[in-house]
Structure 1
Amino acid sequence: MHEASSRPPCRGHVLAALLLVALLSAPSTRAAEGSTPLEDNRRITAGYIQLAQAFQALLDPDFQPGGPSGVRPNWFAFAPHASHAAGKGMLSAAIARHVLDAARERPSLSVREALDRVGLSGEVRLSVERLSLELVAQGLPPDAAASLGALLTGMNGEALADPRSLALTASRFASLYWSAPAPQPLDKAEAMVRTLERTLNEGNVDIFADIGGAANAYLAWRSSTGEVTPERVLAEFPLPGARPEEARLAYGYALAHAHEVPRPHAFDALFPGMDGRSLVVAAFALYERARLTPETLEREALIALANNYLAWREQHDAVQPAFLPAQVHADEVSRPEVMRAMTPMLVVYFGTLKWTLADYAYARPDRDGNPLTSPPTDYGWATFWDRWPPILDSFEGGYREPTALWVMPGPIEDPLAE
């Protein structure tokens, strides 16, 4: 197949400029030494936006930087929004720490006073206060309860309108609090805050280092390769750890099964023992095949399966060590249990499109069949097979409203930072 001849004459210049921007201004794939989690998040989100634009320029001849695209979005168009959602979680942790810092200077007499001191108001205040009061009822001091309630600041607090979710979430928070490796109440609460912040930050950094690093390497290779074909990607792109024979197998499978419903996603069963980096190379080759495919349905099917390959590497390999680290930190509580407690309130805004774990869970059969527990509380985000189907569901929402994703998020700032 050949490049579509209907592309505008300036197309090559626009694409070259986008690739140059991505290569020269994309931040380092590793966290900057001494940076804060929110600084890391701003850098990573901005890097993803650059990569999203560069890859969409390959797929959509009409795409202009900063504008929308009606072509099915590439994986990197989802990534800034997911990174931004993680950043909101880190901001919630920062606000929780402000509650604790204020309490160390002078204890609060009530949850209301503790939350007033950090300026929480509006609808978010209602859900934070609701959980905080439940925690007080379970024996936590007001400041500790308010700090843990503040972890909902960037979350979907509406999920706690279901009293079953509220009760079980409070119980899980309280259990983690009492298990914390610290004698003092504020230190117990800070151990939980620290655990959530580190988990989110390490996961965000690890994904960007892995997938973002591969993408930057691919764009650099592509800019110096001459005419690029899927076959050249599979044979010549030198991603460390990837195996050309595996990448070719995954690529060939995608061409044969791209239109299957449901879309292929259980890659451990389909490709036993395959290195996830081989899927990354296959994904880049599929993007190139999609670029050369004039038929809309075929092109979009190839993009979606390439996205699944990248997302599998992201979730199955890159981020999992952040949820289940090889070495457990002595100053943390259980990372999987923290994520399990937070899971019912998960929310991601893909531009103008809102996706919540609660909506996903209520739309499906109750996993445990217990009417006394709400469906969202049956999921734990640290467990791969608990989060993988919801992530794929969020992709489908983006495919139905592709232009929504191109309303990119802005940087997250801590309004209480000195």
Structure 2
Amino acid sequence: MEPRQPSSSSPQSTPHSQETNSSPAPNALRTPAPELFAPVPSQLPPLEQNRLITQGYLRIAHAMQALVDPSFRPGGTSSMMPNWFAFAPHASQEAGKGILGAEVADRVIDAAQGEPSSSLQHALDRAGHRGARRVTIEALSHALSWYGLPRDVAAALASLQGAMNLKALVDPRTLWLTAERFAKLYIEAPGTDPLAKAEAVVVTLERCLNEGNVAIFSDIGGSASAYLSWRQTVGPVPAARVLVEFSRPTSQPEEAQRAFTFALEHAHEVPRPSDFGRLLPGMSSASLVVAAFALFEQSRQASSPATRDALIGVANNFLAYREQFHAVQPAFTPPTPRPDEVPRSELMRTLTPVICLEMGPLEWNFTDYASTQRDRDGRLLTSKATEYNWALFEERWPAILQSFEVGYRQPTALWVVPRPLVRPDGQLTGAD
């Protein structure tokens, strides 16, 4: 795959407060909204799809923030409560890191097809791992070899985590249980030889992350594009009109109204409402999406900053619930498993401790989140982070909500464009 050079068209994070022009820049919502979103071509490699998705989210995030923050200029920085789409480019970039890890693992496997490595160090050299991260990747490789995995297989599977939060593996309990779970996946993987078995693990991760990312972007990003296009046609609208006139497939106006009314009544609750399966039973999650856009419009008329932020917060939870409960879940737990894969749910359980989310200068990681939770099995020999499975909605949902709160505390961080993805050999890929 050829290295991709950064594009000059990506939004830059410069404070709008520094602008000196007397006439404000035109609001992005009055420019052709269809340019904000384009379906991702399925024939492109996963990393290229990821790049397009991350860039698409950046454009939508800036357009949406201009809706809720009248002083915001697309391409700038907002200190106001961020909308859901401000988080999306960073989450997409994290998926890209996992896909990049799969690509690096594939390089190890491909090199071993011609000539097996003479040592673990040789295998890791082939992958291009260097510096401090290599130390942890090498430690995991050695742990995998203790379970009988061939050196090239061990290096390949350890490389899958090389794009994630390696600090989690400093805890020896996490390191050894992760190795044990990877070994089990490898032993039970389809394939007639060790490299084919390793490839089954690698391709499972790549497909899982890519399919989930594409599904979310197509669903939530597509809804945002449809809303902004509709709004461009009709102009600024009151929330009541959104609830009646705007719709998504399977949404119902009366459901959207009920969700909107619920949000107005409970917006100031702490913690923010999130258990919508219980609080709004029987409701299509598509109706929550419509209600979210209505809440964004309502926030423009809020009587105080606190009320404005509360409405945006519930709107974000509506969109996130649709994203996690409906859009991405089939990627983690597909109804019909593929015969050339390992179980996706078990693979995600193995990777759960190393999940993280960089938001500009901020970092949220699952290990820190788990450390604040109860010890689920009461055993000192297992770390808390290994007791969860990201593939299960009920286990990742509270963690995602906590990551939002981290972003809300430093909202300007969300407007720092994700850094380009860099392969271990130094080549750039991913988002610009």
Query: What TM-score range do you get, normalising by the shorter chain?
Result: over 0.9
- Letter of the 1:56 partner, please give it: Q
User: How many residues of Structure 1 are paired with residues of Structure 2 in the alignment?
Assistant: 407
Residues 220-259 of structure 1 show CA distances to partners (whole Å, capped at 9, x for unaligned) of: 1000013411000000003221100000000000000001
Q: Kindly tell me: are residues 134 and 79 of structure 1, through their superposed partners in 2, closer, same or farther at Cα, counting changes over 3 Å?
A: same
| Paired residues of 2:37 and 2:225 also in contact (CA < 8 A) | no
Aligned mates of 2:422, 2:228 — CA distance in 1:
30
Q: Does 1:20 align with 2:14?
A: no
Distance in structure 1 (CA, Å) of the matches to 2:428 and 2:231: 42
Match of 1:216 in 2: 225
Greater Cα shift, 93-102 or 357-366: 357-366
Q: What is the distance in 2 between the residues matched to 1:295 and 1:153?
A: 45
Query: Which residues of structure 1 form unaligned runs of 5+?
Result: 1-7
Question: Per-residue deviation at 1:118?
Answer: 2.0
SS for the counterpart of 1:390 is helix
Residue 387 of structure 2 is aligned to residue 378 of structure 1: yes
Work out the CA distance in 2 between the residues paired with 1:417 and 1:186: 27
1:307, distance to aligned residue in structure 2 (A)? 0.2
Contiguous gaps of at least 5 residues in structure 2: 1-20
Identity of aligned residues (%): 54
Query: What SS is found at the alignment partner of 1:349?
Result: strand
Q: Which is further off, 275-284 or 126-135?
A: 126-135
- State the partner residue of 2:144: 135
Query: Which residue number in structure 2 is paired with residue 342 of structure 1?
Result: 351
* 1:156-305 pair list within 5 angstroms: 156-305=165-314
TM-score w.r.t. the length of structure 1 is: 0.94
Per-residue deviation, residues 11-35 of structure 1 (Å, max 9, x unmatched): 5x522x35525x2423423x30310
Checking the alignment, whether the CA contact within 8 Å between 2:164 and 2:354 is kept in structure 1 is yes
Is 1:306 paired with 2:315? yes
- Structure 1's consecutive aligned runs of 4 or more residues displaced over 4 angstroms after TM superposition are 8-11, 413-418
Q: Quick check: 1:237–1:281 contact (8 Å CA) kept in 2?
A: yes
Structure 1: distance between partners of 2:157 and 2:30: 43
Distance 1:310 1:74 in 2: 10
Task: Give the residue type in structure 1 aligned to 2:204.
Answer: T
Following the alignment from structure 1 to structure 2, what is the Cα–Cα distance between the partners of residues 352 and 388?
Answer: 23
| SS of match in other structure, 1:348 | strand
SS of 1:224's partner is helix
Deviation, 1:313, is: 0.2
- Whichever residue aligns with residue 20 of structure 1, its letter is T
RMSD between aligned residues? 1.6
Do the aligned residues in 1 keep the contact of 2:352 with 2:385 (CA within 8 Å)?
Answer: yes
Deviation at 1:294, TM superposition (A): 4.3
TM-score by length of structure 2 reads 0.91
8 Å CA contact 2:204, 2:341 repeated in 1: yes
AA in 1 matched with 2:219 = D
Write the distance in 2 (CA, Å) between the matches of 1:70 and 1:226: 25
State the match for 2:131 in structure 1: 122
Q: Does 1:33 align with 2:33?
A: no
